[in-house]
Amino acid sequence: MITNNQWFVCISCGNIIPKAEKTSRNHCPHCFVSLHVDDLTPWDRASSCKGLMVPQSYFLTHGTIKITFVCLQCGHIHNNKTASDDQIVALDQVIQKWKKHIDQ
């Protein structure tokens, strides 16, 4: 059974991701990649897509950074807040890296 907050191995960079302290983590704090497993609400696990969700952009709202993720497989777009141990300094680079995949 899958709980809301547990460790996992990142499918993209292979890092072992410990569970987040306060929030349910859904993306890798190193490469910001997640899987398209949720449909309408986070952790509903209702999507059968299982495509790679990659960061497309980010924005500031109410003092927290939110990242806009896009699914490479179906184009589903999803905003998610950052976790405290996300490597925000690397985010710009990661977004640039995925840009050419998204535009295609």
* Interface positions with Zn ion (CB under 5 A): 10, 12-13, 28, 30-31, 36, 49, 51, 71, 73-74, 76
Residue (5 or 73) nearer to Zn ion, CB: 73
| Tokens representing residue 10 in the block | 């990142």
The C-alpha torsion from 9 through 11 and 85 to 61, rounded to 10°, is -140
| Total residues found in the chain within this entry | 104
CA dihedral of residues 2, 12, 98, 18 (deg, nearest 10):
60
Backbone angles phi, psi at 29, to 5 degrees: -70, -10
Provide the minimum distance between the beta carbon of 102 and Zn ion in the complex, in angstroms, as a whole number: 13
User: From the CB of 62, what's the least distance to Zn ion, in Å?
Assistant: 26
Beta carbon nearer to Zn ion, 23 or 87: 87
Cα gap 99→3, rounded to integer Å? 32
Closest distance to Zn ion from the beta carbon of 33 (Å): 5
Quote the distance between the C-alpha of residue 47 and its chain's center.
Answer: 15
- Residue 1 or 96: the one with the smaller Cβ distance to Zn ion is 96
Of 66 and 76, CB closest to Zn ion: 76
Distance of closest approach, residue 86 Cβ to Zn ion, in angstroms: 11
